[in-house]
Structure 1
Amino acid sequence: MNDYLIKALAYDGQVRAYAVRTTKTVGEAQRRHQTWPTASAALGRAMTAGVMMGAMLKGDSKLTIKIEGRGPIGVILVDSNAKGEVRGYVTNPQTHFDLNEHGKLDVRRAVGTEGTLTVVKDLGMKEYFTGQVPLVSGELGEDFTYYFASSEQVPSSVGVGVLVNPDNTILAAGGFIIQLMPGTSDDVITEIEQRLQSIPPVSKLIEQGLTPEQLLEELLGKGNVKVLEQMPVSFTCQCSKERFADAIVGLGKKEIEEMIQEDGQAEVQCHFCNETYHFSKEELEQLKEEAK
């Protein structure tokens, strides 16, 4: 099953909901960065939340999520847009610990709890929208829940999960965001809270083969969910040799000349996807001519 995301309304428009399967998407990130299980879970949770938050945007808008918890994993960075495209990386991909007291991957220990979650939205205007909150748990689901309540004033519940195979590949990944619209009735709020307390972890439901539609039915009740839109989701990086060439040109003639003299070539690597681009001496000479 390919990864995809759905947008939905529930309880006659009182609730807005998103659900996504990201198993292949997180798997691609794991493959590119060779993340170990705990790092895979942290990065996968952040990317899953990120792709759903991207789906809340319109047109060519995009956002960047930065999680700095001062834990051994270092910084987690995720980019996403309104088209279901997401990419991400962690500073220290080979981070792993024994399972925590609940028998789960110890994401909190890897991420840390003394730091911030920052969301920067590029809505195509002159100014960027930036929201920042302190980390409240380091497990990330609770942290994104707190972000929505505190920074965007939208009562929300965010669930994100990743299961990792013994060979480090991704077994299952996905998540949901449920948001209460203004005026949601107390009865609906109580019913949702009860359902959230009783359902299994979201990653287990994905592993069992539940689709995003079925996931929302588990959360909100059959017959309550009206799907508005479905979109494919993928690990997609916008890097290219042309973009890196432009960046080299921007360094100026002097620095490019130093590259040519010292190494006779240049090699650059994209942090987000680990793709490497090679520039020969001839190519550098040409870029030097283009530089101001």
Structure 2
Amino acid sequence: MKMKNYVLKTLAYNKQVRIFFLENTDMIKEICNHGNISKSLKTALGKTVSIATLLSGTLKGNQRVSIKINASNRNYKLFADVDSMGNIRGYINDALLNTPLDNKNKLSVEELIGDKGYIQVLKDLGMHSIFTGTTDMPYGNIVDDFSYYFKQSEQTDSFFSVNMVYDGNGEIALCRGIMAQLLPGAPSILIDTIKEIISENQTILGESENFKEIPYLLFRDIEVVEQFPVQFLCGCSKEVFYPMLYSLNKEELVEAYKSEKPMEIVCNVCGKKYSFSSQEIKGLVQ
């Protein structure tokens, strides 16, 4: 079976740099296209999820990474989390998803984030070892802000690129990403060289039909060391949403039970709907 969403892990420049190439068009369509999400929100969520997916290539064992993007308006947040198996989730919180922003489709990501946004990253390294990092977002475009995050929080020279292309109807047609990180001992000037090469060859990233050829088209000294699949996995279930019903006050539950109408809860992450019958609600009341 052909792999649709995957990461190519490579080493370049005499193995001084690791460069990951991500093809995740189908996955980003699946994550971003449920519900009525504006183009600006699709772009912000697609970039956040793509970066989280690239980071999955750095994880081992049962490690995982959770990302939270906080806009200047502290009610507006985007989330993504990923594990070492390449299982990805990403979603927008209710306040941002349902906000009546004027001309949401015309907003840029920078306007959406504002000038006081910040990134929070939580790494679960296993064995009760948790690393957390927080930096501001001086660029406001999410992608360059993650390069800044790694430089400031983890002292690692990094470069990210996410290329999202839309069709004439405003739907996602393509999504690809690149992450480059210097390995210990590599000269810092290499990251600027890589950034320049990628920035000058965006056409290759967007138009090349054979994704696996891209590393060789961009760099001479490069070796593909691994290819691994990535996939959207929400992990929701009906049982997960019972606590949400418990959080309602008893009067609401009694009214729902007496009306003999089911209550429906929609998962923010995947859009799946779960229905609770009046008898199930009665069990909660009792």
- TM-score using structure 1 length: 0.82
One-letter code aligned to 1:11: Y
Distance 1:263 1:285 in 2: 9
| Residue 24 (str. 1) matches residue 21 (str. 2) | no
1:161 aligns with 163
| Residue 87 (str. 1) matches residue 89 (str. 2) | yes
| Residue 68 (str. 1) matches residue 73 (str. 2) | no
1:102 aligns with none
Aligned pairs for 1:204-219 (under 5 A) are: 205-211=205-211, 213-219=212-218
Q: Is the 8 A contact 2:265 2:273 kept in 1?
A: yes
Q: Deviations over 1:245-288 (max 9, x none)?
A: 3x258x48xx6754431211433222212222111122234456
Q: Is the 8 A contact 2:163 2:205 kept in 1?
A: no
Instruction: Select which of 256, 276, 280 maps to 1:279.
Output: 276
The answer for unaligned runs of 5 or more in structure 1 is 99-105
One-letter code aligned to 2:139: S
The answer for unaligned runs of 5 or more in structure 2 is none
Q: Deviations over 1:79-113 (max 9, x none)?
A: 22212221212223783116xxxxxxx22122223
Distance 2:192 2:208 in 1: 27
Cα distance, 1:192–1:30 mapped onto 2, change above 3 Å: closer
Cα distance, 1:188–1:114 mapped onto 2, change above 3 Å: closer
Q: Deviations over 1:146-197 (max 9, x none)?
A: 1111111110111112112222321111111100112114775564354234
What SS is found at the alignment partner of 1:175? strand
1:101 aligns with none
Instruction: Select which of 56, 59, 62 maps to 1:57.
Output: 59
One-letter code aligned to 2:106: F
CA RMSD of aligned residues (A): 2.7
Distance 2:149 2:282 in 1: 48
How many residue pairs end up in the alignment?
273
What SS is found at the alignment partner of 1:157? strand
| Residue 136 (str. 1) matches residue 118 (str. 2) | no
2:229 aligns with 232
CA-CA distance at 1:36 after TM superposition: 2.1
Aligned pairs for 1:234-253 (under 5 A) are: 234-245=231-242, 247=243, 251=246
| Residue 96 (str. 1) matches residue 105 (str. 2) | yes
Distance 2:97 2:198 in 1: 33
Aligned pairs for 1:130-209 (under 5 A) are: 130-185=132-187, 188=190, 191-200=193-202, 205-209=205-209
CA-CA distance at 1:71 after TM superposition: 6.0
One-letter code aligned to 2:97: N
CA-CA distance at 1:218 after TM superposition: 3.8
